[in-house]
Amino acid sequence: MTRTARELAEYLACTLEGDGTVRLSGVAAPDSASAADLIYVETGRHLARAAASQARCVVIAPGLAVDGKTLLRTANPKLAFARAAAWLTRRSLNG
């Protein structure tokens, strides 16, 4: 299933910073992510990996930033990422 960053921000109750039209279809670790994958950063020690990632959208904790990415800001990035993963990978009951 493909969603926009804006749809994910609304679903997760996150603050959107950047391009809300970014299309997302999966989740991944920063090192293996494609442009259509969502990643997350919970602490500053993972910022460099996120910045180097091909992912265009990052679920991120307050006070952190990654230049050139659309950010979904939330107090609990790991929980938001898990909820996003379930929503993005949910299969249709008809298919």
Name the residue ranges covered by the structural domains of the chain.
3-89
**pLDDT tens digit sequence for 21-40:** 999 999 999 999 999 999 99
Q: What CATH number belongs to 3-89?
A: 3.40.1390.10
**pLDDT tens digit sequence for 36-70:** 999 999 999 999 999 999 999 999 999 999 999 99
Q: pTM score, two decimals?
A: 0.91
Range list of H helices, the chain: 5-12, 47-52, 77-89
Count Cβ atoms within 10 A of the Cβ of residue 32 and give its class: 0-12 exposed, 13-18 middle, 19 or more buried: exposed
Q: Could you give the angle at which helices 5-12 and 77-89 cross, rounded to 10 degrees?
A: 120
